[in-house]
Chain A
Amino acid sequence: MEIEQFFSAGYQGSKSFKQLDVPNANATGFGAPTDDYMDKGIDLNEQLIRNKPATFFMRVQGNSMVNASIHDGDIVIVDRSIKPQSGKVIIAVVDGEMLIRRFEKTINKVRLIPETPKLSPMEISEYADFSIWGVVTYVIKQFS
């Protein structure tokens, strides 16, 4: 289908940010010379969320992805609008269960690879109850 011609990029601005969000000093004496150079500041939402309506946060249970430095209790940011290419970490749905795994797609097969020696890769047959929920874009972990 010729869908591409209507809409090119996956992201065309679902973040909202206004000029007014930029703070300035509002100094009462001399005008602060820094006002012309004020930035909005670093906003984690803006940095970590590419497409707002398609982005979800989830919490990891267990250590299926330890070797990819994703640990029990970490929070992952999941974007549903990104194309799941081979090699990406995805949220997969297998038999109704939500799993975090590395997605591997070759010419004739699809596999879900855990990043721990304790679990073995899962081969997805043609008839399996399988779908991709979204692609993991970032991990948030607390150190202390």
Chain B
Amino acid sequence: MIFMKAIVDCNSFYASCERLFKPALNGKPVVVLSNNDGCIVSRTDEAKALGIQMAGPYYQNKAEILKNNVAVFSSNYHLYGDMSKRVMDTLRLLAPEVEVYSVDESFLDLSGIDGNKLHDYAMFVKQTTELWTGIPVSVGVAPSKVLSKVANRLAKKDKLGSKGVIVLQTPQQQMEALQKTAVEDIWGVGSAGSKTLRMFNINTAWDLRNMSEAWAGKNLGGVVGVRLVKELNGIPCIEMKDPLSKKKMIATTRMFGRAVFELKELKEAVATYIARAAEKLRRQSGAAGAVSIFLVSNNNQSQYQYAPSSRSAYVALPSATYLTNVLIAYVMPLVEALYQKGSKYIKAGIILTDIVPCAMVQYNLFEKPESAASQKLMHIVDNVNFGMGTDMLKFATAGTKKNWKMRQELRSNRFTTKWDELCWVK
């Protein structure tokens, strides 16, 4: 049997989601901004051609954006999350095994498909996904994950020539693709790694492929380096992973929409983040044994000078819990302890750790187990919030005004998840 893996990667995913419901933007430059409208996180090819940089701050690109009439959107994670699920659900029907790697890319196991039908099948995966979900994708197919990433990158770079699909099957195809790929562009090689490689005069993926495993083991961080060289040689070493359905830790961190100075507001934000994280915790039937929090302040005068300082604290709970009110009660004293009057807070976060399945919680002699009543309360809170909209029911600590909330001035409708925000047709 031939072992083959494919990676399916959505093209400019967030921007493509926006375009699907605003077809007038097809062929036009579109960018999507990060939380708080800070940086550019998704660009269409047309926006890339204008020289707008990925992760570039919005304010630095604003002149260029206005001049070229670029469509700008705040990130709409409700929409992107739903569209991502549609893409992944489609892929699950097309391949026996799918590993969701990120919000917009998945590895597919295509082992066992006849070699001369592989390209047709990859094209079929692409066309079906695009037809059903409306999201354009690129597909790279090769014997190993690293090679499939190389193929995918080349398919994306030359959409006209490749029609969005590249299969690296023969040694000749693999050689040509690797020669066209710089070491920086190999999956898993960071900027630090590529500097090391360039020092050894290894400039392309092909150069690296031809190094011995012994050399890689010595110079590229041991087993990781060996694996990389093997993968480039088409020997699969990175297997398909099971989905991370149960998370070992759950974090909620956000930048504030504007700077926060007051302790009260800070506590509201942290309590809200706890509520959100505890909701996720209950969704995976877990209980957390410890909570960490951190507060980030930036006391510089200019908003563009970014020299943040971060303070954090940690509390181990007497017994693991999933009750929002209990978590809030343990964390609020930490916020008070960390708070420094006069500081300008720009971000806060909480991390739930030591997560165990809630059936396995060990109670100690002095702690009362979660009462049936508080369990029921959580159940009701979750049901109301899922059914009627986030934060319909919440604990009073979380505040009612939320001046610090995320800035999303240019958000489009949640076309696929909210009944009153559907797309209009004439």
Contacts and interface: CB of A to CB of B under 8 A. Distances in A.
Contacts of A66: none
A58 B422 contact: yes
Interface string B409-426: 000000110010011111
Nearest to B128: A7
Interface residues on B, range: 20 to 34
B132 interface: yes
B151 to A, nearest CB: 20
Interface in A27-70: 51-54, 56-62, 64
A53 B123 contact: no
Q: Dominant SS at the B interface? A: helix
Interface residues on A, range: 20 to 34
B422 A59 contact: yes
B121 interface: yes
B163 to A, nearest CB: 12
A44 to B, nearest CB: 13
B311 to A, nearest CB: 44
A100 interface: yes
A107 interface: no
B423 A81 contact: no
A96 B26 contact: yes
A97 interface: yes
B276 interface: no
B23 A93 contact: yes
B25 interface: yes
A76 to B, nearest CB: 7
A76 B425 CA distance: 9
A54 B416 contact: no
Interface of A: 1-3, 6-7, 12-14, 51-54, 56-62, 64, 75-76, 80-81, 91, 93, 95-100, 131, 133
Q: Dominant SS at the A interface? A: mixed
Contacts of A100: 425-426
Contacts of A96: 22-26
26 contacts: A3-B120, A12-B93, A52-B86, A52-B89, A53-B86, A53-B89, A53-B132, A54-B131, A54-B132, A54-B133, A56-B415, A56-B416, A58-B422, A58-B423, A58-B425, A59-B425, A61-B426, A62-B426, A80-B134, A81-B131, A81-B132, A96-B22, A98-B425, A99-B425, A99-B426, A100-B425
A1 B123 contact: yes
Given A53-B133, A59-B422, 7 more contacts: A3-B127, A53-B132, A54-B131, A56-B423, A59-B423, A91-B425, A96-B23
Interface in B107-133: 117, 120-121, 123-124, 127-128, 131-133
Contacts, number: 89
A13 B90 CA distance: 10
Contacts of A98: 23, 423-426
A27 B132 CA distance: 44
Contacts of A131: 23
Contact of A80 (B24, B89, B133, B423): B133
B87 A53 contact: yes
Contacts of B423: 56, 58-59, 98
B361 interface: no
Contacts of A7: 94, 124, 128
A94 B87 CA distance: 25
Nearest to A136: B425
Contacts of B22: 96
A131 B19 CA distance: 14
Contact of A64 (B24, B117, B419, B426): B426
A61 B422 contact: no
Interface in B372-426: 415-416, 419, 422-426
